[in-house]
A and B are shown apart, each in its own frame.
Chain A
Amino acid sequence: MIHWNSFSDFIAMGGYGFYVWGSFGVTVLIMTIEPIMVARNRKTTIARLKRQLRPENRNSAE
């Protein structure tokens, strides 16, 4: 069922390892970093909006 004979075969990708893993590596990196950045942006936005909502900041907000 599995196409590869050994792990080193799998890594080598028949000589195309650099191109295949270069593609998959950057994709995985981007698809990991993007959600983390979106989540972080959400946290800072909520913190800022909460600060602006406090009564003492009402006039200076915006």
Chain B
Amino acid sequence: MKDRFNLYRFASPATFYPLAGALIPYFAAVSVVFGLAGLWLGMLVAPTDFQQGEGYRIIFIHVPASWMSMFIYLVMAFWAAIGLAFNTRLSGMMAQALAPTGALMAFLSLWTGALWGKPMWGAWWVWDARLTSELILLFLYIGYMALTAAIDDARRADKAGGLLLLVGVVNIPIIYFSVKWWNTLHQGSSVNLAKSSMATTMLWGMLLMAMCFWMYSIAVAFMRVRTIMLERERHTDWVKALLAGGEK
């Protein structure tokens, strides 16, 4: 019961607001450290790929961005489910704070994919399952943001947006398994727990970059959720006290 008590405590915006604020600098710093280490390994140390020459180095942002675009959506869908089931205030704010970052990750995945596809396949874009389902993911993010922005009442916006998120979650396994389920130009996954097809420095470079993107996303989402909290809870005593106390 003690654990549950703590969980509920941090589900309250008044408690989460200062906690998130205190954690942001750490997530940002760790993100920079992982990013520099990943870039050093990936761009300066890792060897040339025997098939793709130096062009393969796009992998160091393409894969982390693609992973984050799917993972952030799953986290948003998780918050949507919690919000719809328990009617908690924090869940909708969390989903809204994550959406723009998720959309940017989906965009980066498509952008770097196009720049990788052109020299390797000879085409910026093909309508194959992997690329199309990732494009749908970008549209889901944009649709969620447009839908919640169009509804004035925050609670109703959360409910409508949450439903959209839960329906759209079916797209995530389609993206993930598309390279197995359908014939595609897109290469299979490079990381495999049993036998990885990558050199060690390549693998580590990619994992470090993935950690960098992960920490970055948390830092930015925390920054955004704090603003959303102030906005939505502006009638509560804790926000009034913060603003009167000169919150910057």
Contact = CB atoms under 8 A, between A and B. Distances in A.
A38 B227 contact: yes
A31 B57 CA distance: 18
B45 interface: yes
Contacts, number: 94
Interface string A8-25: 001001111001101110
B116 A53 contact: no
Interface string B46-80: 11100001110110011001000000000000000
A30 B104 contact: yes
Contact of B58 (A20, A41, A43): A20
Contact of A13 (B55, B62, B107, B118): B55
Contact of B65 (A20, A27, A38): A27
B112 interface: yes
The SS class assigned to the B binding surface is: helix
A53 to B, nearest CB: 6
B247 A31 contact: no
A34 interface: yes
Nearest to A1: B45
Contact of B243 (A15, A19, A35, A50): A50
User: Considering the complex of A and B, which 9 residue pairs feature the smallest CB-CB distances, nearest first?
Assistant: A14-B54, A16-B55, A23-B112, A13-B54, A42-B227, A19-B115, A14-B53, A23-B58, A38-B223
Given A2-B45, A20-B57, A35-B219, 19 more contacts: A3-B44, A3-B47, A10-B44, A13-B54, A13-B57, A14-B54, A19-B58, A19-B119, A23-B58, A23-B62, A23-B111, A23-B115, A24-B61, A34-B100, A38-B220, A38-B223, A49-B239, A50-B243, A53-B244
Interface of B: 28, 43-48, 53-55, 57-58, 61-62, 65, 100-101, 104, 107-108, 111-112, 115-116, 118-119, 216, 219-220, 223-224, 226-227, 230-231, 234, 239-240, 243-244, 247-248
Interface of A: 1-4, 10, 13-16, 19-20, 22-24, 26-27, 30-31, 34-35, 38-39, 41-43, 45-46, 49-50, 52-53
